[in-house]
Structure 1
Amino acid sequence: MPKPTLLLLHGALGSPSTLQPLAERLQSDFTIKTFAFAGHGGGEVRPDTFTLPHFGAEVLGFLKEHETAPVHVFGYSMGGYAALLAASQEPARFASITTLGTKLDWSVESAAAETRFLDPDKMLAKVPAFAEQLRQRHTPADWVNVVRATSALMQAAGANPPLTATALAGIPVPVQVLVGDADHTAGNEVGVVMAAQLPKGCYEVLAATPHPLERVELDMLSLKIREFALRTH
């Protein structure tokens, strides 16, 4: 019997390479697929394609091109948002969705809080090793442009959130929403209320788990993804 497909979607400032350690833990049970969102992993950074609605459309485009049956999806942070956005438009393409650290409650205020960290000059001064990681991850594109485009994306999401409570309520797909107890980006009461709109949703807080994927216990995360997907398969 062929293994079910699991599409892994990276987060903001990420690329498929950031998901490789997780993919290695899941490849025995799934056929793993992934792709880079526009403007990530070396792709050209353009304002018209560096948006959440476009990323959602990219998920649908990938599934239409590569898959005939519904697939399981894991989306980290922004990748989870893109998956839910895609599922709100064409739910029949999804067998299940697991998100981790996905911020559902965008507002002008929350976008301002997030984007204050996205200053390339401050990043170079305060976290030069991370800035170098971004440079390598997004070459030949300029990582500075990726950071600035991400800031613009968040501001646009705050001004006009693509996923509303009504849209979430219209997703008939099994969705597992995972948020770390130390995640100050995605973890809050408004996010819980938003997640509760999902007809087949479940929400779980992961102990001792911050937002950055590289600090998440991947054995635990892979178990959560595997059990949820195979239970719904």
Structure 2
Amino acid sequence: MTHLLLLHGAIGAQDQLEPLAQALSDDFLLDRLNFAGHGGQPMTGPFAIDIFAEQVMRYLDNQQIDRVDIFGYSMGGYVALYLAKMYPHRVRRIFTLGTKFEWTPDIAARETKMLNPEIIAEKIPVFAAALEKRHAPNDWKQVLSKTADMMMGLGRANPLVLDDFSGIDLPVLLGLGDSDTMVTRAETEAVLNRLPNARLTVLPQTPHPIEKADVRLLQSEILSFFK
């Protein structure tokens, strides 16, 4: 069996991908990790795509994995494609789901408004409690703050511009939920049109949060692509 690395999204953790991991456990050697500062991992500095990519590289080296297939949800998909740009010899194939590619100062400012911990604690206390549990012993509010800083950095200087995708020639499947209100089809297709060896799959009745995705449908898409 081949290795399949599952990468979680921003303000998330590997536990969110556990239902998917269980569904795929008979078909792959599954690898998972929590990015620094997420899921209780130590806060080692700022959040940034290149820092998370280097963390993945250390994981692959420590596990003696020469090349790996990657399923990346949201930010995890962005990290996967950044790895393919920087270390193409270490990545075999990539499946992204709900990955946002278009970042400008205005877009970053809009997205960070949804990361206000005071508003979340007041308006969505159940979500605040889930974040607190997910990232303990780290302060979940600090996780949100560092994520907001990362997003603003993406808005100022996107580490993956459209021309970069033209140089990523490994097989890529771009997944998008038809009900995703964070990621547009236009920005996804703009990346699709630059990637030399890619296709798009649109998942029906699928919003952005990974918890709301149909695990069986996603399992089928993953098996079809990687197998």
TM-score range, shorter chain: over 0.9
Give the aligned residue type for 1:14: G
Deviation digits for residues 7-55 of structure 1 (CA, Å, limit 9, x no counterpart): 000111111111100000001100111111011011233443x111111
Q: Please give the alpha-carbon distance, in whole angstroms, between the structure 1 residues aligned to 2:124 and 2:192.
A: 33
User: Where in structure 2 are the equivalents of 1:177-216 lying within 5 Å?
Assistant: 177-216=174-213
Q: Please give the alpha-carbon distance, in whole angstroms, between the structure 2 residues aligned to 1:68 and 1:144.
A: 34
Root-mean-square deviation (CA, aligned residues, Å) is 1.2
Residue in 2 that maps onto 1:133: 130
User: Where in structure 2 are the equivalents of 1:48-197 lying within 5 Å?
Assistant: 48=46, 50-197=47-194
Change over 3 Å in CA distance of 1:58–1:195 after alignment to 2: farther
Give, in angstroms, the shift of residue 103 of structure 1: 0.4
Residue in 2 that maps onto 1:41: 39
Unaligned runs of 5+ in 1: none
Unaligned runs of 5+ in 2: none
Give, in angstroms, the shift of residue 225 of structure 1: 1.0
List structure 1 runs of 4+ shifted beyond 6 angstroms. none
Give 3-state SS (helix, strand or coil) of 2:204's partner: strand
Give the aligned residue type for 2:28: F
Residue in 2 that maps onto 1:22: 20
Q: Please give the alpha-carbon distance, in whole angstroms, between the structure 1 residues aligned to 2:99 and 2:60.
A: 21
Q: Please give the alpha-carbon distance, in whole angstroms, between the structure 2 residues aligned to 1:190 and 1:40.
A: 27
Q: Please give the alpha-carbon distance, in whole angstroms, between the structure 2 residues aligned to 1:133 and 1:7.
A: 24
On the 8 A contact 1:101/1:187 being kept in 2, the answer is no
Identical positions, percent: 38
After alignment, is 35-44 or 140-149 more displaced? 35-44
Give 3-state SS (helix, strand or coil) of 1:137's partner: helix
Give the aligned residue type for 2:99: T
Tell me the TM-score normalized by structure 1. Answer: 0.94
Give the aligned residue type for 2:25: Q
Give, in angstroms, the shift of residue 71 of structure 1: 1.4
